[in-house]
Chain A
Amino acid sequence: MAAGEEQRLDTASIIGNVPTESRRAAFLRGAQRWWPYYLMMAPGIVFFVVFHYLPIWEAKIAFEQVRIIPPNIWVGWQHFQTLFASPVFWQVLANTLIISAMKMAFVFPVPILVALFLNEIRSGPLRKFIQSAIYLPHFLSWVVIAGIFIAALSPSGGVVNQIAGLFGLEPRSYMTDTGAIRWVLVYSEMWRSAGWDSLLYLAAIIAIDQQLYDAAEMDGANRWQKIWYVTIPGIVPTIATLFILNAGMFLSADLNQVINMSNDVVRGTIDIVDTYVYRIGLQTGEYSLATAAGLFKAVLGMLLIIVAHNVSKRLTGKGVW
């Protein structure tokens, strides 16, 4: 809107004392020029309103008592009070934070290392071969990945237990082991994303000015010094951006992953906010309570991403938007 007005003002000032057209005429002229674009955008705009904004309105049932015969009764914060008084909710919240923290600590740095290593590989075909293999898991669904992990971690004939057996270790059933299942989530997340996410860092590395490396070489820097003093500073903004996106997802911990890797034995250990919402909402039918939990997560997630964005902007001068 602002840009359009500036343009008109500019033309007016160049031509000189042209009488400014009436608001109505300006509007008609704008409408004539822009209606085809709005017509083209209409399906998309309708989609956003219906599938993203109506649900926000719909979320008001978190504050209502749902009745079979409408209208629902407004009950204010009652469902939130029930939620915060429920030990199960605090347990799933703790699980979510623990799983996210584990992923942040053990998964987040891996693609950075992968990118640094890939960048050191000089042979083009070898590098292409490695890339083609390690990007693949990103394109597999969690149902498939869960299937692959159930097979690979199986106590009878799974590759992991077989290798452990070579070292004389007893077979373990990792998928039904409450002490191991969170690590299974961490490792499967790494398996899926470490390769693909490295691509973003690699793109940032390639954009670094070659002269910096040449200068470092003149100063007699070795491989690791070049990585430490040139490459890593060059990709810090990318690291910051991805860190923010990850921080924004901190309360998600990936519903699709958990729902496919879960079973009756380990449910208590890896039940996260999203699976809790799904279970009490769509399976038990406590819609209001589930929506309250979902809203709590959404609002906290939004605050997290805004805080992370501002912190990153202060530290690196670069945010997500």
Chain B
Amino acid sequence: MASRNDRRTPLERIEYAIIVSTMLLMVVVTVQPILNLAAISLSDPGRVPGMSGLAIWPEGFSLDVWTLLLNHPNVRQGVMNSLLITGVGTLINVTFTALMAWGLSRPGLPGRRFLFVMVLITIVFEPGIIPDYFINKRLGLLDTYWSVILYKAVNAWYLIILIRFFEEIPNELLEAGELDGANAFQIFWHVVLPLARPALATITLFYLVFHWNEFFRAMIYLTDQSKWPLQVVLRQFVIGGDKLSMVGVQAMSNFTGASQISIRALNAGMIILTILPILIIYPLILKFFTKGTMSGALKG
């Protein structure tokens, strides 16, 4: 490497410096606004109104915002709902998708082409939210967690990714299983799934992120506020600018500690709280997604 660098002309060095600094600028532009919100949420509430948007370090240090948020019934309920929807939803997603992908990856399956076309059509033609709403209504799913959980229970793109992966499994391994007298289910469970672990991990992460971030369906299907996932609660606070619901009428009119906290600090804390689970699994995402995307072209 050193010898390579030595061969570089001054012009090439300047080019390289420009490329690196452009990319570092992109990093700053991406991360700074998030760090700023984290800093605001951890600052002394009294100093938040004067805080600069450039700050990435808390001014003073206080957990007031976080204490208020984490003790807030709506927020707690939101976190529980999100965890429930994400957990159950992902479990159903991965199970349904893996089972269907396994069948569709078998070359001799009768009706394989038909099923493929059936899946592809759903990618290019979506009749829209109103028919979707009516189906949920007709099935009695409105205002139940199921309306959100079952949406995209099998995602056509992820299904195709898994099919491609299953097709790569060497036939000898499957035939060995058959010779041992294993039936189709046993082969799937004992041979296919262990081999598919990286692919399954990838789509599990895809689905986890999808459910955690789901907002629109939850907003239109769940009228009962106690079922709202965190994203909808966040929207009510941040986009709706509804501080009252956050602080509570009592605390607001009493001029107690809570009313001193600015809406800016509460919003910042709420946003960071909603991102937190994503940040926690982000190292895993980097590990699997980047690898998965490198090995086969996919759109996520």
**Same assembly:** yes
Report A's interface with B, CB cutoff 8 A.
1-4, 7, 30, 34, 36-38, 40-41, 43-45, 47-48, 50-56, 58-59, 61, 114, 117-118, 120-122, 126, 129-144, 146-152, 154, 157-163, 191, 194-196, 199-200, 203-204, 206, 222-223, 238, 241-242, 245, 248, 255-256, 259-260, 274, 277-278, 281-282, 287, 290-291, 293-295, 297-299, 301-302, 305-306, 321
- Could you tell me if A306 and B130 are in contact, using CB atoms closer than 8 angstroms? no
- Could you tell me if A130 and B23 are in contact, using CB atoms closer than 8 angstroms? yes
| Interface pairs A-B: 3 shortest CB-CB | A294-B128, A44-B100, A159-B53
- Could you tell me if A34 and B26 are in contact, using CB atoms closer than 8 angstroms? no
- Could you tell me if B127 and A256 are in contact, using CB atoms closer than 8 angstroms? no
Residues of B108-144 at the interface with A, using a CB-CB cut-off of 8 Å, are: 108-115, 118-120, 122, 124-135, 138-139
Which residues on the A side are within 8 Å of B271 (C-beta)? Answer: 144, 147-148, 151
- Could you tell me if B131 and A294 are in contact, using CB atoms closer than 8 angstroms? yes
Query: Given A151-B37, A245-B299, A130 and B26 touching (CB < 8 A)?
Result: yes
Interface centre among B36, B126, B289 (most CB of A within 10 A): B126
Query: Taking the complex as formed, is B290 at the interface, i.e. its CB lies under 8 A from any CB of chain A?
Result: yes
- Could you tell me if B29 and A241 are in contact, using CB atoms closer than 8 angstroms? no
Query: Given A117-B23, A143-B239, A1 and B53 touching (CB < 8 A)?
Result: no
- Could you tell me if B108 and A3 are in contact, using CB atoms closer than 8 angstroms? yes
Q: Which residue of A lies closest to B208 (CB)?
A: A139
Which residue in A122, A298, A321 is a CB contact (below 8 Å) of B127? A298
CA distance A274 to B128 in the complex (A): 8
Q: Is the interface of B mostly helix, strand, loop or mixed?
A: helix
- Could you tell me if B24 and A130 are in contact, using CB atoms closer than 8 angstroms? yes
- Could you tell me if A114 and B26 are in contact, using CB atoms closer than 8 angstroms? yes
CA distance A48 to B139 in the complex (A): 15
CA distance A260 to B234 in the complex (A): 11
Interface centre among A134, A137, A147 (most CB of B within 10 A): A147
Which residues on the B side are within 8 Å of A295 (C-beta)? Answer: 127-128
Which residue in B107, B264, B274 is a CB contact (below 8 Å) of A3? B107
CA distance A207 to B299 in the complex (A): 17
Binds A, one of B64-72, B146-154, B247-255: B146-154
Query: Given A48-B154, A130-B23, A151-B264, A143 and B220 touching (CB < 8 A)?
Result: no
CA distance A141 to B290 in the complex (A): 20
Which residues on the A side are within 8 Å of B133 (C-beta)? Answer: 281-282
- Could you tell me if A48 and B122 are in contact, using CB atoms closer than 8 angstroms? yes
CA distance A92 to B17 in the complex (A): 45
CA distance A117 to B17 in the complex (A): 11
Q: How far in angstroms is the closest Cβ of chain B from A62?
A: 9
Q: Which residue of A lies closest to B294 (CB)?
A: A203
- Could you tell me if A7 and B108 are in contact, using CB atoms closer than 8 angstroms? yes
Beyond contacts A1-B113, A143-B274, A151-B268: 19 other A-B pairs, Cβ-Cβ < 8 A, are A40-B103, A55-B132, A58-B138, A59-B131, A136-B31, A137-B30, A159-B33, A159-B36, A203-B294, A223-B12, A259-B216, A277-B128, A277-B130, A287-B130, A287-B134, A290-B130, A293-B128, A294-B127, A301-B124
Which residues on the B side are within 8 Å of A248 (C-beta)? Answer: 124
- Could you tell me if B135 and A54 are in contact, using CB atoms closer than 8 angstroms? yes
Query: Taking the complex as formed, is B97 at the interface, i.e. its CB lies under 8 A from any CB of chain A?
Result: yes
Query: Taking the complex as formed, is B288 at the interface, i.e. its CB lies under 8 A from any CB of chain A?
Result: no
Query: Taking the complex as formed, is B173 at the interface, i.e. its CB lies under 8 A from any CB of chain A?
Result: no
Q: How far in angstroms is the closest Cβ of chain A from B95?
A: 7
Q: How far in angstroms is the closest Cβ of chain B from A158?
A: 5
Query: Taking the complex as formed, is B15 at the interface, i.e. its CB lies under 8 A from any CB of chain A?
Result: yes
- Could you tell me if A260 and B294 are in contact, using CB atoms closer than 8 angstroms? no
Which residue in A59, A134, A147, A154 is a CB contact (below 8 Å) of B128? A59
6 contacts between A and B (CB under 8 A): A1-B111, A36-B183, A41-B104, A141-B213, A161-B53, A291-B128
Which residues on the A side are within 8 Å of B235 (C-beta)? Answer: 143, 260
Size of interface on B: residues with Cβ below 8 Å to A:
103
Which residues on the B side are within 8 Å of A245 (C-beta)? Answer: 299
- Could you tell me if B53 and A152 are in contact, using CB atoms closer than 8 angstroms? yes
CA distance A270 to B1 in the complex (A): 51
Query: Given A30-B110, A48-B118, A203-B297, A157 and B51 touching (CB < 8 A)?
Result: yes
Residues of B129-184 at the interface with A, using a CB-CB cut-off of 8 Å, are: 129-135, 138-139, 150-154, 159, 183-184
Which residues on the B side are within 8 Å of A114 (C-beta)? Answer: 23, 26
Which residues on the B side are within 8 Å of A53 (C-beta)? Answer: 118
Q: How far in angstroms is the closest Cβ of chain A from B91?
A: 12
CA distance A163 to B12 in the complex (A): 31
CA distance A242 to B16 in the complex (A): 28
Query: Taking the complex as formed, is B278 at the interface, i.e. its CB lies under 8 A from any CB of chain A?
Result: yes
Which residues on the A side are within 8 Å of B113 (C-beta)? Answer: 1-2
Which residues on the B side are within 8 Å of A147 (C-beta)? Answer: 37, 234, 238-239, 267, 270-271
- Could you tell me if A120 and B16 are in contact, using CB atoms closer than 8 angstroms? yes
- Could you tell me if A260 and B34 are in contact, using CB atoms closer than 8 angstroms? no
Q: How far in angstroms is the closest Cβ of chain B from A186?
A: 15
CA distance A204 to B278 in the complex (A): 27
Query: Taking the complex as formed, is B20 at the interface, i.e. its CB lies under 8 A from any CB of chain A?
Result: yes
Which residue in A194, A238, A302 is a CB contact (below 8 Å) of B125? A302
CA distance A74 to B269 in the complex (A): 52
Which residues on the B side are within 8 Å of A199 (C-beta)? Answer: 290, 293-294
Q: Mark B281-300, 1 if CB is under 8 A from A, else 0.
A: 01001100110011001111
Q: Mark B196-216, 1 if CB is under 8 A from A, else 0.
A: 000000000000010011111
CA distance A53 to B290 in the complex (A): 33
Query: Taking the complex as formed, is B19 at the interface, i.e. its CB lies under 8 A from any CB of chain A?
Result: yes
- Could you tell me if A36 and B19 are in contact, using CB atoms closer than 8 angstroms? no
